[in-house]
Amino acid sequence: MGVVELFPEAAADKAAAKPDRLVIRRPDDWHIHLRDGAMLRAVLPYTAAQFARGIIMPNLVPPVTNVDAASAYRARILAALPDGVPFTPLMTCYLTDATSPDEIERGFAERVWIAAKLYPAGATTNSHAGVTDLAKIAPVLERMERIGMPLLIHGEVTDPEVDIFDREAVFMEQKLLPLLARHQGLKVTVEHATTAEILDVVRAHAPRVAATITPHHLVINRTHIFQGGLRPHLYCLPVAKRERHRLALRKAATSGEDCFFLGTDTAPHVRGAKEASCGCAGVFCGPTALQTYVQVFHEEGALENFEAFASLNGPRFHGLEPNADTVTLERRENRVAESVAVDETAVVVFRGDETLPWGIGG
């Protein structure tokens, strides 16, 4: 992919006199795409090496829309884990216009899934079976509100007349704020937040509303996608925004506020699907996620808040206990492979061709 200058704020004096070693409870990843088949087997070990649990996105082909499909997918994930590596997949239901409230409640009561995912139809990868009108899932949302089941939202409108850089902002005004007003007891996670304005909405509605923040949105703005030429492996949805939004995301993530937590949105696509005339959206950041997050916290002088963001806020929001074991992060230069092999091709790793200043200890 070529080295991109991602961290203009990383000055030597800003990083001086900071710890070289950090031990935190093992984190969880509250937004993961693992795909299926050979791709699942190739990318899962990288997530499982860093995280104890993870919310698994349901946008397979066909999507995971019922209890049986979620149970079967969870079994395939567990079967793909390397021997002796503990990892708990937390499954989700892909909402459609026809989703049954009873099926939603059954899956939640049986602990098959932990949340439901709202994809506006056509908003991102494999989302065309998603929701076309929020009114059509009102009974589902009412049931979720009653049973305490969280809603995970990909917050973008799909109107082609709305500029791609404004789709999160328009969704917030036209969809999210009215939804929160109608369902005042519904728990909501705004996933992969990308704008300063959405962060303020989350703060205003906390603690029942939270947001996940990705590693890549903390370190790239929209200019990086075009730095020296088109960089398809930095293209994701929601697309990276202006620099002021990146800075707002860094401030939110490192603030220690309970309503923000880790969600990588690691989203693998094979090289040919990214480097194409119509490339897929998604950044595969699983192998370098923790290294990138901790670098940001170090640069912002907020290492004392990293455990809350990575390991505590997410479990608290979802009513789970934090993990008992720990992970060690060390300030030492290291490199991750440029790509991960998948059958006869490969998936390019975010920052996989760079020297990273932080690594994961033994």
Residues involved in catalysis: 265
- In Å, what is the CA distance from 9 to each residue of 135, 196, 297? 45, 19, 12
- Residue 288 is which amino acid? T
Closest to 270 (Cα-Cα) out of 199, 347, 163, 179 = 347
Q: What string of DSSP letters covers 113-177?
A: EEEEEE-BTTSSTT-TTSBS-GGGGHHHHHHHHHHT--EEE------TTS-GGGHHHHHIIIIIH
Backbone angles phi, psi at 251, to 5 degrees: -65, -45
The whole-angstrom separation of Cα 212 and Cα 260 is 6
Residue 205 host element (H or E): helix 196-205
Closest to 124 (Cα-Cα) out of 99, 153, 84 = 153
The whole-angstrom separation of Cα 158 and Cα 174 is 12
Six token digits for residue 288: 């370098």
Backbone angles phi, psi at 322, to 5 degrees: -60, 160
The whole-angstrom separation of Cα 154 and Cα 152 is 7
The whole-angstrom separation of Cα 217 and Cα 245 is 9
The whole-angstrom separation of Cα 57 and Cα 55 is 7
Q: Name the E strands within the chain.
A: 21-25, 29-32, 53-56, 88-94, 113-118, 151-153, 188-190, 209-213, 260-262, 326-335, 339-342, 345-348, 355-360
